[in-house]
Structure 1
Amino acid sequence: MPAYISLPLSKTPSNPQKSAKTPQAKHLLPKYFNFSLTVFVKTCYNVLCMFYTSEADMKNAILTSKLALYVIVVLFVVPLMVFTPIVSADFSDGLILHHAYDEGQGSLAADLSGNGHDGEISNPEWVDGKFGKALKFGGEGSDVFVTVESSPILNVNECTFMAWINADHWNGTRQLVGKSVHGGCNGRTQYGLFSEGGVFKLRFETESGRADISTDLPPVGEWVHVGFTNDGSTAKIYVNGEVVEEGAVPGTLNANDDPWRIGQDCERLNYVFAGSIDEVRLWNRALSAEDIAALKDLPTAVDAQAKLTTTWGDIKTAR
């Protein structure tokens, strides 16, 4: 009886960890799959060798084992790759601020990005959020807002902002986020997302002039994911993970020393947001549409040191 032999089935990448960290779209099979497949085929081959003793029988054993492998691939591996896409992406890259608003008490919103951009909450009102807790803002005349003191890295040019909001109404000018967008503080206006004149407006103030991009107001009375990106030349407004409007941004954004505000523009109590805000994040790069769609349903995706790599597979089990 011939001695059992091993069949080389696949080559192991020379640097698998490097491949795993690459933030590109790809299909990932469970890590134990290759091992299980190898054991299965080797077992088939060795069992067949117990019955086949001639050289011709040995060839039949090899062919039968390969056929079993092909059947496994066609019936199980291909459908798994087609219907279970998992995209790997390092969402902590460029994340400079992340407020989850899950404290539920106190007047400090911790920055989970690890960059120290904690928010000071004026007259906090805690409510149930999209995920965990959220902050409630009272609209015109209210003095509930979040202030993050200025730092050099908050003077972004390329950027991504996103948050979950549940608006009570959009009457008047309702400021969601801004860095002196209406000139209420001492510095030059920079950017903001707000309602004005019956539209949802994204504004950038640049060295070459103003860029206003407008779209329909988001629904009220329900949680809606909103955000925007600027890649240095084009800005896009996102609602529920989809691009709803875009426009050109003429030049580099103004820099200033004014604070970064959630729920209110600098010193303007008549521009306060009306409703609840949850899961606020800011990047110093423009995320792709695929990234934004993935992050929409992924709460608190990054740990306190912003080192966690997330996957679309995690979204299915997100709390």
Structure 2
Amino acid sequence: MNMTKLIGAIIACLMVLSFATFLCADVFAAGGKGNVKQLGKQMYIWHFDEGSGKKTKDATAGLEGEFVGDIKWAEGISGKAIELSGKVGSAQYVKVPHSNELDIDEQITMAAWIYPNSLPTGGQENKFTIVFKLTYYMQLEPGNGNASQIAYYFYEAQPEQYYLSDATVKPKEWSHVALVWDGTKATFYVNGQKSNTINHKGPGKINTNVVQFGGEDAACCPRFFQGKLDDIVIANYPLEQKELDTLMKASSVNPQSKLSITWGEIKRP
């Protein structure tokens, strides 16, 4: 082979390698349709203030959830809440259909007011599910029955494993819990106070499964929250601590003012 042909062959190989690298990078890039780059900064809030019926809507985009099982309406942190007591063979959870809005894999905030009537004990199969999609979820970790850590998981984000808050919640009292992930680090908050931060690099997994509040039956184990849930939030961007504080304060006013205060004080450029 003469020098000209050799150089041509090398250039061709480099072009093939470069194209293959581009394809691989594209395969492993974030692919969710609900990320900031697709929809801008978006936050969805289920206040559960309907107080009757078997459906509940997000107050910002109208994402509707349907009750599965005998979920009760109860008094919330303000206004109404849902109360769950699901178990194996008698599932209870709110099911929100898959949508582009909830197809998130680059960054996320999950938050909720929770009032556990009891706390999980025993093995991992006994976790209390707060928010669940077969992509991302937030739960209460089994403990000694007197205090529980917040558990978080985002499939395929690395290292892929369970992560736990240092801070804990107690039974029979309202606590505000949140997980904020910016694509590289995830931070837990309990009652507005920063707990701990862990390294967790995205993007995460995407799929077309439903979102569920208060229970799950689609992963390894049926896991059901025991108690009340109010003001569940899913956002496609990492909320700052002051924004989480605003969410907490908005929940303490009368139900008619919740939404206006939330949107009036949280900056959404």
SS class of match (2:178)? strand
Q: Alpha-carbon deviation of 1:281?
A: 1.3
Structure 2 counterpart of 1:262, from 213, 217, 223: 213
> Within 5 A, what are the aligned runs for 1:52-201?
94-113=41-60, 115-122=61-68, 123-141=70-88, 142-156=90-104, 157-171=106-120, 172-180=126-134, 190-198=135-143, 199-201=149-151
Q: CA RMSD in A?
A: 2.4
Give the structure, 1 or 2, with the largest relative contact order (CA under 8 Å, sep 6 or more).
2
Alpha-carbon distance in structure 2 between the residues aligned to 1:106 and 1:179: 24
Where in structure 1 do 4 or more consecutive aligned residues deviate above 4 Å? none
Q: Alpha-carbon deviation of 1:208?
A: 4.3
How many aligned positions are there?
Answer: 208
Alpha-carbon distance in structure 1 between the residues aligned to 2:103 and 2:266: 29
When normalised by structure 2's length, the TM-score is 0.71
Identical-residue share of aligned pairs (%): 24
Which blocks of at least 5 consecutive residues in structure 1 are unaligned?
A: 1-92, 181-189, 313-319
Q: Alpha-carbon deviation of 1:207?
A: 5.2
Q: Alpha-carbon deviation of 1:96?
A: 3.6
When normalised by structure 1's length, the TM-score is 0.60
> Within 5 A, what are the aligned runs for 1:30-49?
none
Which protein shows a greater Rg?
A: 1
Deviations 1:128-186 (A, max 9, x none): 11011100010433422101101122122211111111001222211111102xxxxxx
Which blocks of at least 5 consecutive residues in structure 2 are unaligned?
A: 1-39, 121-125, 144-148, 252-256
Alpha-carbon distance in structure 1 between the residues aligned to 2:182 and 2:117: 31
CA contact (8 A) 1:242 1:293 kept: no
Deviations 1:8-44 (A, max 9, x none): xxxxxxxxxxxxxxxxxxxxxxxxxxxxxxxxxxxxx
CA contact (8 A) 1:225 1:240 kept: yes
Q: Alpha-carbon deviation of 1:197?
A: 4.0
Structure with the largest fraction of strand: 2
Quick check: 262-271 or 135-144, which moved more?
Answer: 262-271
What code does the residue aligned with 2:244 have? I
Q: Does 1:278 align with 2:230?
A: yes
